[in-house]
Amino acid sequence: MPAALGGAPVFVQTANNQEKLDQWQQITEAEAEMAYQMTLRNELSGGTLTVRQFEALWRERFGCKFAITVINGTSALHSAMFGLGIGPGDEVIVPSYTWICSISPALMLMARSVFCEIDPETLMIDPEDARRRITDRTKAIVAVHLWGNVCNMDALIELSRETGVPILEDCSHAHGATYKDQPCGSIGQVGTWSLQGSKPVSGGEGGVVATNDVAIFERACLIGQVNRVAGLDLITDKYKHLQPLGLGIKFRAHPLGIGIATIQLEKLDQLNKNRRTYIQSVEDSLVNIPGVRPIGKYDGAQPAGFYGFPIHYEAQDLGGLPKEKFIDALQKEGLAAKSNPYPLLHQLSLFADGFDLFTEDRGPLCTPEMGGDYQGYRTGDFPVTESVVTQLIFLPVFSQPTKDAAAQVVAAIRKVSAYADRL
């Protein structure tokens, strides 16, 4: 009997405390020693040797000719969009289901966000819906490998070939993910990663931009690498007249964070192996439990990073039991389950109602009342996304799970499902 009906919970710990199931220590003595030694060497600013070595490691690991570090994932996307030449009047297509930073840099470049649907099985961008939203103003499609899952890159690359619209891969959740054995971030025209504190490879804060296109790379350097473009990063002489300061904007990463991320990068394969084994074990068991099922994956996709662990909830298989009651029952079992943590972007006031971004009726989100032509969005504009996201349950991700962690998670789900008619 589930705890919600008076039975004993599966887990002794509370819903917000799962450390007994996860033995992972993200920051160890190795990271601390790296930061200590860098401090003694006064590696505290600029493109230091450690920063350069990390960028070289990143290029090798993710199969890109060029890579440069920045201060966070948002600035990585900003640099990538600038590298693509995105500017005033342009449009950037992005799924409504993602973190706001996947599109906010476009607004700072005076471009407009154009949202699209997701695939209801995988939660990734729907290439065909993206196709329908392409106009002569479209300058990029953002392929977000959300929660560590992988987009349909074959369809997106074909779409790019047909239309000339480049693909920007947002890999912030998907460090080490691959598609048909090719590293995510190296498949589209440019890739970005976040090194924020909770990411698989973390520097506390930080980001990476990588590409095989020299023109994109040089523009990405130009916008954020003050004093790094003086004969150090620029490949051609196209922007020689702007050296050494570029455009005077500093997105440079803090070297200490990059030093910490260097150690974390060495652990990425093992971390992904641990998370993948645990998640696969849980997903294999969900097949036989009414009311829940795993998120879909495309052929050839190898998820990684695993920033979140969403599953589909199907109330119709449990007599219409509301998802919130199912989650509440899981939490009473001591399982840290929760509902979807990300808002749909098209439902935020910023994008629904518009905003005078630069004051005086200026900016890409100005409605007719503000002197622009932005129409905004409404609930119902993306029925597939809106329906699917409301029926997601997020399970905890363990990076170094105890031996029985997966079995205990499954036991809690199975127990709640079995007694759904009494909840």
Give the count of beta carbons closer than 10 Å to the beta carbon of residue 119: 23
Question: Cα separation of 84 and 87, whole Å?
Answer: 9
pLDDT of residue 20: 76
Question: Are 145 and 195 found together in one domain?
Answer: yes
Helix/strand/coil for 2:
coil
Q: pLDDT tens across 200-235, in order?
A: 999 999 999 999 999 999 999 999 888 776 666 788
For residue 250, the cross-strand partners are 225
Question: Cα separation of 269 and 61, whole Å?
Answer: 11
Domain with residue 328: its CATH number is: 3.90.1150.10
Domain final residue pick, 228, 263, 298: 263
Q: What is the CA radius of gyration of the chain?
A: 23
Task: Classify residue 201: in a domain, yes or no.
Answer: yes
Domain final residue pick, 223, 238, 263: 263
Token readout for 278 is: 């645990």
CB 106 within 8 A of CB 112: yes
Question: Are 233 and 296 found together in one domain?
Answer: no
Question: Are 222 and 323 found together in one domain?
Answer: no
- Tell me the pTM: 0.95
Question: Are 219 and 337 found together in one domain?
Answer: no
The separation between the first and the last C-alpha atoms of the chain, rounded to the nearest angstrom, is: 11
Domain with residue 39: its CATH number is: 3.40.640.10
CB-based contacts of 221, cutoff 8 Å, min separation 6: 68, 79, 228, 229, 233, 234, 246
For residues 239, 244, 247, 251, the Cα torsion angle rounded to the nearest 10 degrees is 120
pLDDT of residue 229: 65
Question: Are 235 and 315 found together in one domain?
Answer: no
- Domain extent, residue 410, equals 3-23+268-341+385-422
Give the count of beta carbons closer than 10 Å to the beta carbon of residue 121: 14
Give every strand in the sheet of 301-302, ordered side by side. Answer: 182-183, 178-179, 301-302
Task: Classify residue 215: in a domain, yes or no.
Answer: yes
pLDDT of residue 14: 45
Question: Are 36 and 19 found together in one domain?
Answer: no
Question: Cα separation of 91 and 142, whole Å?
Answer: 11
pLDDT of residue 8: 73
CB-based contacts of 231, cutoff 8 Å, min separation 6: 243, 244
Question: Are 150 and 15 found together in one domain?
Answer: no
Question: Are 248 and 283 found together in one domain?
Answer: no
Within 13 Å of residue 50, how many CA atoms lie on the same side as its CB? 24
Task: Classify residue 117: in a domain, yes or no.
Answer: yes
Number of domains in the chain: 2
Task: Classify residue 365: in a domain, yes or no.
Answer: no
Task: Classify residue 374: in a domain, yes or no.
Answer: no
Question: Are 33 and 156 found together in one domain?
Answer: yes
Task: Classify residue 59: in a domain, yes or no.
Answer: yes
Domain final residue pick, 240, 263, 286: 263
Below-50 pLDDT ranges, the chain: 14-16, 18-19
Question: Are 150 and 284 found together in one domain?
Answer: no
Q: pLDDT tens across 16-35, in order?
A: 454 478 889 999 999 999 99
Question: Are 34 and 18 found together in one domain?
Answer: no
Task: Classify residue 144: in a domain, yes or no.
Answer: yes
Task: Classify residue 380: in a domain, yes or no.
Answer: no
Q: Is 198 exposed, middle or buried (0-12, 13-18, 19+ CB in 10 A)?
A: exposed
Question: Cα separation of 228 and 243, whole Å?
Answer: 9
CB 130 within 8 A of CB 155: no
Cis ω for the linkage preceding 396 (within 30 of 0): no
Question: Are 252 and 282 found together in one domain?
Answer: no
pLDDT of residue 15: 45
